[in-house]
Structure 1
Amino acid sequence: MRIIKLDAIDSTNTYLKKLSVAGHAEDGLALVAKLQTQGRGQMGTIWEAQEAKNLTFSVFKDVSFLEVSQHFYISMAVSLAVFEALNSLGLKDVKVKWPNDILSDNKKIAGILIENVIKMNVISGSVIGIGLNVNQTDFSALPSASSLLLLSGQVHNLDEVLDVILKQIEIHFNYLKQEAFSFLKASYESQLFRKDKPSTFTNAEGSLFSGYIVGISNHGQLLIKVEDEIIKRFDFKEVALLY
């Protein structure tokens, strides 16, 4: 696996997407930056991280063996890879908040942004952006965030943490190649934050409702059991978990 390290860049995902479109990104290529000036999260949000204290990187994976309809399995594989990596580092109570935020002790420590390159209705490649709070301690502007240092009490070597995550990504993409979809889905659902617990949500219109997360569909929709034991499906932009 080839790793490119940069001091600063606007967005590792944006740069790696350009490389992939130009045909210069081989499977497993990782791009790591000490500082992202325009780091991006889900739905156009900004990912902010202090320079040289956290991991901000992107990985290109060849997923041409997947159908477009199977795209959410990429998200499952990456979420589980980060989950397993953090577990191996001794972090406690690690969970996946649908679709692919990673929490520990109910605090967000990692975000994942997946951008697929689709050609002729085939996913030719996937650019996987990961932001992980490692040694940062100031989250005054982000009260729901935390870091490995705050949660474990230990300073972590960024390269060592990166290596653990990249190895887990390779392991979980091998599951994809082996078509272990049922295993990935069951593993992902077993680690879902607030699964089978009474929770409050807001829908696309801003209305509040209560329900229980019971799992996800094969296409990645969140399954929520509401009143009268009815199970409703929600896409990412249609619902937000308020805890």
Structure 2
Amino acid sequence: MIRERKIVLITSLFFIVIAFLALLFQREIIWNMVSGHFDFSVANIVNLLAGKDLVTFFLHQIVAALKSTVIFIIIELLFIIVIPIFIIIIMFRAKKKEGWTKTSIAITSGYGLLLLSLISFMIMFTVTSLHTYQNIHTNVVTAKKAILSHNSEELEDSLANIIDNPQKSIQKVKEVSKKLDNHTGIFTLLSNWLDKVQSYENLLIIGTIIAFLAIIIAHISELYLMFKKPQI
């Protein structure tokens, strides 16, 4: 096996393991990022006490959580895209030495499909997220302060009475949330954003599965040939 093909084999197998672990812990990482904007940290408490009412603080944290999540996913995708590009370049360099084989075609095609899937998802995700972020930010900024203050007072009263009458408090919170959505559209926008991202994610998963199947089968074939007839 020539040097370039050995580099591809090692890099590719390492990439597949890392990609699997990233997918395995992806939801937990994102959830920790989002929940960090609403926990009782020093920064959050300081922001809450810095003259902001409860609703304004809550809306600000939602926008911040959306922004940090989008930035994290885009950076993550950029790092993941680097390895398929590197492997495709190495495969074309190997082609000059031994030409195309069935396994090299399968590996290159698999990483080409993976690269196409990742870039397509990143573009659609970025455009949709940016549009949603701008709409939410604009709606929150232009919402009348008096309306937000009134909703905040209702929410604070509901939370203060949650122990005495939890059912009534929860119902009141739902009513305030509905009024808040009517004034800012934030929950509707987030729901639409999530639906679109999930549809993009389904397409990404289909492309990734097909790509990884082609890559793994090609690697198994290469390993079989390597042990059956070792090459220097």
The structure with the larger Rg is 2
Same fold per superposition (TM over 0.5): no
Q: TM-score, normalised by structure 2?
A: 0.26
Higher helix share: 2
Higher strand share: 1
TM-score normalised per structure 1: 0.25
